[in-house]
Structure formats: structure tokens, C-alpha cells
Amino acid sequence: MKLIFEKSIPGRDAYSLPTDLFQDIKIEDYLPEKHLDKDKKQLTEVSEVDVIRHFTKLSKFNYGVDDGLYPLGSCTMKYNPRINEKMAAISNFSQAHPFAPIEMVQGSLEIMYELNKLLCEITAMNQYTMAPASGAHGELTGNLIMRQYFIDHGEKRTKMLIPDSAHGTNPASAVMAGFEVIEIKSNENGTVDLNSLKNAMDEQTVGLMLTNPNTVGLYDKGIEDIEKIVHQKGGLLYYDGANLNASLGIIRPGDAGFDVVHLNLHKTFSTPHGGGGPGAGVIGVKDRLIPYLPTPIVDFDSTENKYFLKDIGKKSIGMVRSFWGNFSVLVKTYTWILSLGPEYLYQCSKTSIINANYVLAKLKKYYKPAYDQYCGHECTLTGREYKKYGIKTLQIAKRLMDYGYHPPTIYFPHFEPYAEETIMIEPPESEGKEVLDNFIEVMIKISQEAKDNPDLLKSAPHNTPISQTDDVMAVKRPILTYDDELELKDELNYQGKDIDYY
């Protein structure tokens, strides 16, 4: 397919201003000489229909949750009900000015106030901040809150414990907050090794960041001991609740003793994520950490019958984002929770757990699980059986694309000897049995192809708009700008070429 620049035809345009209006106006009279671009060769000349067709075609190359199963383990990609979008698009919400006087945005504030109450009930926490714009941003906020807590209590704690199975953002956030990260090894069950935790936890340690069910999809049954070990040394427990798909109405992190919780509203709470839009990595805390939350939070004045923005006070870590967070995501979450109600929130988690265990049970003969036990909302299989046919997990994932599926998460988590060549599948509650059956059938077919015809996998994908690319070069030397002097037919053949555009 040609790039839009290559479709340019001199003299074509998509929109023209009435020339007589501008005949006396010379751009040179208004712009300083140095800002004038006299060399116009870069401008693309296309008509409106050229533009529409070009981008419509491109959009059809894409694959999303509205096309089919998107089994991306650890990152919950599920169908997002349209009612959420409809509510978020109501102009009173979407057009509200962030500087509008609070009397004019009482409805928006009420939603934030009520959503806080719902999230507190779902997770057994005492107060949320809606400010952070992503999971990683929430983690940083949570870490800064913990740091502030210890500074305020005159304690010098500098180390953060993080299991080796944790999402990569956990150590990154802890380091950004100024902590030293100590890795805690997983045991043969894929969960936290209690002895390693006991040895590492001391009075210089801030606490532990834990995901549960963890990132191999397993529920850590040692949670009661973990809680004791961390709290006995005065530490704090941080819960990475980016995915709550296995927990709604089943367990509440606050009940398990967690002090700080982050939720990705853009995963479990039904907002598209990834390239799909803005996120919200809201942070919930227990009472003793409320004074350190980012300021302000929404509160309700019952004598005046009015919602208002309450300053957290001097101990607050300050603001972490402009204005009040990604408000549209909050409206979608609020809509989703209310449209399901407690009974169906529970059903949602139950269904995702059943879905994941169904896939695990059907595929474990073909793709050896990293850990052979029941899983939460996602299962971790491996492609290590196929190494003897010269097949890597990456090639299995590419071949899946030929059958019209988005590949699952691969090589994450990745720690030997248990979890290598991993394939992490999350079939969320929005998928029916027939969808899963078809996916399972395809996975089994690919396992047979790996033995009978490994070359088919090695050269995959074959049916996608773009066939196999050079992964290394695509990362090392991606061409991100257009240069008409670069010969595009040589685009994938970088050898001997000196390309300045990255």
C-alpha cells in the first residue's frame, strides 16, 4: 500500500478557501522571514476522497476488541459496552471546562464522589484519588504516598520488595520514587517464597508490591503470612490491582491487609486501553494514608448540600496530574459498575475465571502450563515442547494471526526454570464458549503444524496485510518520518544504507 505522501498529485486539494477573500493578504507581511518555509516539496496534495479512502483502508488493517478475541494476558482486553461511551459523551460531561465554577459542575463532582464510594466498597479501602492517568502513574503515586508516610513518621526506609513475577512497571515506579528494588524469588508454585521474603523484610524496607492473583495468573495462598511478615516490621503492603478480573465480589485487597491499592480502570472496568484511549490508574488507601494523597479530592458538604474540592492539606504529595484526572474514563467505570450491580460484577469475575480454566484444561496437553494448578482470570502456558522442532513461542504467536486472532502475551512473565517460552492467555468474561472453542481448535492445529510443517510457522504470518518483519531492525532502526528520497521498496532492506530518520 502506498503512503499518503506517494498519492500526492500536484494541484489537488481537499479544501479551498475563497481566493478573493485573501487576494490582498500576503503571508510575508505577517510572519517573520525566518519562519517562512519556501521549499514546499513536503506538502501532500490529495483530495478529500483520497484522504478518507486512505485512512479507512488503514483502519481495516487493524485488529481490536470489536473484531474478535484479544487474549492478551496481564492486560485485559475485553469488549467494552457502548452504553459506557454514550454516557461519557454526554456534552455536560465531555464539554465541561476544567476551570468551570464548582456550582456548574455539581453532576461531574457527584460522579467522582459516588465512584469513590463504589471503588472503596469493591476493594475495602477508605479513599481513592482519581488523578493518576495510567497504571504506572498510579504506582508512582502510591510509592510517593508511602515515601511521604515514612518521612512524616521520621523513619528512613529506602528499599522496596518486588516479586520476580511482577509487572515491569512495579520496579520502574519504585525506582522513580527513589527506592532501591529488592527482587523476591518465586517458589516452585509460582508464588512468593516466604523465606526469601522473611530474610529481605527489615526496618529499612518500605514494604512489598504484590499482584494477587499474580502475573502468572495464580492466587498467592500465602497472603496471610505475607501480610504478617511485612506489617510486623512496620512496612506497608501495596496491591497492584491493575487487573481485578479474578477478584470482583470474591476477595477485597483491603480485607487481606493491603494499605495501598491501584486499579486500572482501563482494564477490568471496561475502558479500552493500549492505543485505545486515555487511562485511569486510581489509587485507594487506608485511613492512615489519606493525609498523603494527591490533592484535592471531592467531598460533600451536607449542610450546603453541595459537592466541593477538598484540599488534602500540608502532608499531601501534591498534584500528580493537571485538573482532576481522565474524567471520561471515570464516567465509563461508573456506568459499567452501575449497569452490572454487585451480582453481575461477581458473575463477571466468575466467568473470566471459568473461561481461563477452560482454556487451560483444553490446551495443557499441547502447551505445557508453567504451573499445573487452577488459575485465576488468565493462564500461563508454554511453548517449550516445540523447541525440539526448532519452533519458538514467537512463531506460534505469529501463526495465530493467520487464523485471525490477536496473539496472546508471550515471553511474559519469563523466569527460568518454570516460566520460559511463556504464552499467557486471558479470555475475558465478554467471550462466549463458541469463541473459546474455536480459539482452542486453532491452537491445537498450530501445535500439529509445529511438528508436521515447522517452516509454515517460521515464515508466518502469511495472511496479514504485512507479512513477517525483521523484529530486530523494526526496533533498532524504525523509519518514523517520511523522506521522499528514501526508496521505499528498499524499506525492509537496511543493509548498507545510511538512514538518518528514526
Ligand X SMILES: *Cc1c(COP(=O)(O)O)cnc(C)c1O
Of 217 and 369, which has the nearer Cβ to ligand X? 217
Q: Which of 243, 335, 422, 430 binds ligand X (CB under 6 A)?
A: 243
Q: Which stretch binds ligand X (CB under 6 A): 86-94, 133-141, 341-349, 399-407?
A: 133-141
Tell which one of 264, 268, 295, 447 touches ligand X (CB under 6 A).
264
CB of 303 to ligand X, least distance (A): 39
φ/ψ of residue 349, rounded to 5: -70, -40
Binder of ligand X out of 143, 165, 215, 422 (CB under 6 A) = 215
Q: How many CA atoms, within 13 angstroms, populate the side-chain half-sphere of residue 230?
A: 26
Buried/exposed 472-492: b ≥16 CB within 10 Å, e otherwise: eeeeeeebeeeeeeeeeeeee
> How far, in Å, CA of 267 to CA of 257, rounded?
23
CB of residue 321 to ligand X, shortest distance in Å: 13
Provide the minimum distance between the beta carbon of 187 and ligand X in the complex, in angstroms, as a whole number.
19
Q: Are strands 422-425 and 379-382 parallel, antiparallel or unpaired?
A: antiparallel
Q: Within positions 356 to 395, which residues make up the interface with ligand X, using CB under 6 A?
A: none
Please tell me whether residue 74 binds ligand X under the rule CB under 6 A. yes
Examine residue 297 and tell whether it contacts ligand X (CB under 6 A). no
DSSP for residue 185: -
Q: Please name every residue paired with 240 in a beta bridge, in sequence order, or none if there are none.
A: 262
Choices 2-10, 84-92, 235-243, 433-441 (CB under 6 A): range interacting with ligand X: 235-243
Among 141, 211, 245, 328, binds ligand X (CB under 6 A): 211
* H or E segment to which residue 409 belongs: strand 409-410
Residue with cell 498529485: 9
Would you say 7 or 321 has its CB closer to ligand X? 321
Among 46, 69, 72, 75, binds ligand X (CB under 6 A): 75
In whole angstroms, how close is the CB of 140 to ligand X at the nearest point?
10
The label of the residue with cell 456534552 reads 91
DSSP 462-494: -SSSS----HHHHHHS---S--TTS-GGGTT--
Dihedral of CA atoms 247, 248, 251, 252 in degrees, nearest 10, equals 110
Question: Is the Cβ of residue 74 or residue 352 nearer to ligand X in the bound state?
Answer: 74
Ramachandran class of 323: left when φ > 0, alpha when ψ lies in -120 to 50, beta otherwise: left
| Segment contacting ligand X by CB under 6 A, of 62-70, 239-247, 290-298, 418-426 | 239-247
Count residues binding ligand X (CB under 6 A): 15
The residue number with the shortest CB distance to ligand X is: 135
Tell me, residue by residue from 145 to 184, as one string, x for binding to ligand X by CB under 6 A and - for no binding. ----------------------x-x---------------
Min dist. Cβ of residue 130 to ligand X (A): 14
Q: What is the DSSP string of 270-319?
A: S---GGG------EEE-GGGGGGSBS-EEEEETTTTEEEEEP--TTS-B-
Maximum Cα–Cα distance across the chain: 82
Report if residue 247 touches ligand X, rule: CB under 6 A.
Answer: no
For 365-371, which contacts have Cβ atoms below 8 Å and span 24 or more sequence positions?
A: 366/443, 366/444, 366/447, 367/423, 367/443, 367/447, 370/190, 370/216, 370/418, 370/419, 370/422, 371/189, 371/190, 371/216, 371/218, 371/418, 371/419
Query: Closest CB to ligand X among 108 and 243?
Result: 243
Measured from the CB of residue 137, what is the shortest distance to ligand X in angstroms? Answer: 7
Residue 140 as a binder of ligand X (CB under 6 A): the answer is no
For ligand X, give the closer residue by CB, 143 or 264: 264
Say how far apart CA 153 and CA 279 lie, in whole Å: 33
Using rule CB under 6 A, residue 352 touches ligand X: no
Residue 281 interacts with ligand X (CB under 6 A): yes or no: yes
d(CA 450, CA 472): 23
- Name the segment binding ligand X (CB under 6 A); options: 64-72, 102-110, 240-248, 303-311: 240-248
Minimum distance of ligand X from residue 52's CB (angstroms): 32
135 near ligand X, rule: CB under 6 A: yes
Burial class (CB in 10 A: 0-12, 13-18, 19+), 97: exposed
Residues in contact with ligand X by the rule CB under 6 A: 74-75, 134-136, 167, 169, 211, 215, 240, 242-243, 264, 279, 281
